[in-house]
Amino acid sequence: MDVEGRKLNLGHKQTNENPWDAHEEKYAIDSIHEGTVKDKSDKGLIVSFEDNVEAFVPSRFIVKEDGSKLAKGDVAQFKVIEFNKEFRRIVASHTSIFKAQEEKNVKVAQQKSVDTAEKTTLGDIGGDLAALKKKMEGGK
């Protein structure tokens, strides 16, 4: 309300619920959704999800598991990496889905190799050191 200018501003949108309140729950960070690539630019992709919700996918996150890049019209899984209700923006990633699985597999393999590796004990070292000491003393 502008008293000095004798104006009153009204808005119709304010009478309805904000759909981004519901989107906040559905498109939470780390949630995975299927989407269709709607548009492609040099900066990234615009992906369309259900409910007419669109997300931006930066170029570094459009690489598929086989090394190729997503193209317009492709349908794929996307992981939400940023959600901002105030600016009505969702940022997603296709690459993060399989990269997280790869990292998990690498950690499991590393743990297995550590578990199966031959471990040297103090007894082993003591026996080897005693033999080395005798050998060195015998040389003097």
User: Which tens digit of pLDDT belongs to each residue from 61-71?
Assistant: 999 888 899 99
- Give the CATH number of domain 29-111; options: 2.40.50.140, 3.40.50.11540, 1.20.1110.10, 2.30.30.40: 2.40.50.140
Does position 107 have pLDDT exceeding 80, yes or no? Answer: no
Phi and psi angles of residue 70, each rounded to the nearest 5 degrees, phi first:
-65, 150
Give the predicted TM-score (pTM) of the model.
Answer: 0.63
* Per-residue pLDDT at 10: 80
Residues in the chain: 140
User: Which tens digit of pLDDT belongs to each residue from 86-101?
Assistant: 899 999 999 988 876 6
Phi and psi angles of residue 104, each rounded to the nearest 5 degrees, phi first:
-65, -45
For 35, residues 6+ apart whose C-beta sits below 8 A from its C-beta are: 47, 48, 49, 55, 75, 76, 77, 78, 92
Domain boundaries of the chain, sorted by first residue: 29-111
pLDDT band at 55, cuts 50/70/90? Answer: very high
Q: How many CA atoms lie within 13 A of 138 on its CB side?
A: 6
Q: Give helix then strand counts, H and E, for the chain.
A: 3, 5
